[in-house]
Amino acid sequence: MNSLEYVCKKVAEGERLNTDDALCLYEKADLPTLGQLASHRRWAVKPEPVVTYVVDRNINYTNVCVSGCRFCAFHVRPGDKGGYVISKEELKRKLDETVALGGTQVLLQGGMNPDLDVDFYLDLLRFIKETAPIHIHGFSPPEISWLAGRAGLSVEELLRQMIDAGLDSVPGGGAEILDDEVRRRISPGKCDTATWLNVMETAHGLGLRSSATMMFGHVETPSQMFSHMIAIRDLQDRTGGFTAFIPWSFQPGNTKIDVPVASPCSYLRVVALSRIMLDNFQNIQASWVTQGDKISQAALAFGANDMGSTMIEENVVAAAGIRYRLPREEIVRLIETAGFHAAQRDCFYRILHYD
């Protein structure tokens, strides 16, 4: 294994790291050193002392899902009790509320529901655009690839239709760990690594921007986690279409994977390594939804420069028993007491206004 001094020097000099380098840092560097290295990279990429957030809500249009991922506490099988598909009345109410609260976007995600066809999705997008002047950040790659397959459309053709109907950008969900061995174990019903990357590459090719995520702390090894980062980094080299990277730790409550939750120290290590490894990303997002106010603020010293969303509504993590609430004023206070200027942003990380 590489020596820690050697890898630290590479980071300080702005050189790109490989998996061995990342493993060395992950296993040998103490936590403050990782924070120092990540901060070094953060200031090089984002020299302004600004931390951003977005005002939006999650809208989960259905919880019925055939995917059956073992880490998910939110879904219901088709035909089982408790399944829903959102009504237009409900959707309108949520949109009106979002606009009234100064929201600029909705994150639209749902299960793989076999009762819903392409027209449902296109209608959903059109209805939102007719109802509210709002950015639609919608449909992760597993939803898109599944729907395309069922409709007999190419991913590209489906995305074109969705863009015509109002889709503005694509969320980076469903990436979990981009390693097929891991995916077979935790989410066998979901698209494989190549498909996830291909949907993103196609979306970027059509001019859609997207985020990228990683869910760690279940069955993956550290080197699988770093392969994930490198796969994302390679795609970003080709397309430049990713806006941000969002790592979060698996929340095992009410799921079928029995592991202890990742420690906050592991979370901060992964945030720092995300910043250090993803040298072609502008933005690294802290996850207060999974980590709470204190650890998400601490993440700002470990390379994160964005506090994510105010989450007027969040259902998926809440289903795993984790319910942190953070009003907008509190997010601003966390940013300012960490020594940064707070700014509301849009989905493309353009600053709308400073607080």
Partner 1 sequence: MMDILITDRRLEPVKEKVLAGARLDADDGLLLFTSNDLAGIGGLAHYARTKRHGNRAFFVHNRHVNYTNVCVNRCLFCAYSRDAADKGAYTFSMEQVREIAMAPENRRVKEFHVVGGLNPALPFDYYIDLLRTIKEARPDATIQAFTAVEIDFISKAAGLSISETLARLKDAGLEMVPGGGAEVMSDRVRQKLFPRKIPADRWLEVVEAVHAAGLTSNGTMLYGHIETLEERVNHFLKIRDLQDRTGGFSAFIPLAFHSENSRLPNIPPTVAFDDLKMIAVARLMLDNVDHIKAYWVMIGEKLAQVALWFGADDLDGTIIEERITHTAGARSAKGLTRTEMRRFIESAGFEAVERDSFYRPVNGSDQEGGR
The footprint of partner 1 (CB under 8 A) covers: 4-5, 8, 12, 29-40, 43, 260, 263-266, 268, 291-295, 297-298, 300-302, 333-334, 337-340
CA distances from 342 to 48, 243, 305 (A): 11, 19, 10
| Other beta carbons less than 10 A from residue 40's beta carbon | 16
The minimum distance between CB 175 and partner 1, in angstroms, equals 25
The minimum distance between CB 259 and partner 1, in angstroms, equals 11
| Other beta carbons less than 10 A from residue 229's beta carbon | 24
Q: Would you say 127 or 340 has its CB closer to partner 1?
A: 340
Q: Would you say 210 or 297 has its CB closer to partner 1?
A: 297
Please state the three-class secondary structure of 241-309 as a single string: CEEEEEEEECCCCCCCCCCCCCCHHHHHHHHHHHHHHCCCCCEEECCHHHHHHHHHHHHHHCCCCEEEE
The minimum distance between CB 227 and partner 1, in angstroms, equals 23
Q: Would you say 33 or 198 has its CB closer to partner 1?
A: 33
Q: Which residues pair with 248 in a beta bridge?
A: 215
Residues 6+ apart with CB under 8 A from 201: 235, 238, 239, 241
Q: Would you say 27 or 237 has its CB closer to partner 1?
A: 27
Q: Would you say 35 or 173 has its CB closer to partner 1?
A: 35
Query: Do 219 and 212 meet the contact criterion of CB atoms below 8 Å apart?
Result: no
The minimum distance between CB 186 and partner 1, in angstroms, equals 21
Q: Would you say 35 or 171 has its CB closer to partner 1?
A: 35
The minimum distance between CB 35 and partner 1, in angstroms, equals 3
**Residue 212: φ, ψ to 5°:** -135, 145
The minimum distance between CB 32 and partner 1, in angstroms, equals 4
Q: Would you say 44 or 352 has its CB closer to partner 1?
A: 44
Look at residues 108, 67, 98, 17 and name the one whose alpha carbon lies nearest to residue 191: 67
The minimum distance between CB 177 and partner 1, in angstroms, equals 20
Query: Do 113 and 64 meet the contact criterion of CB atoms below 8 Å apart?
Result: yes
Dihedral of alpha carbons 32, 317, 236, 165, sign: negative
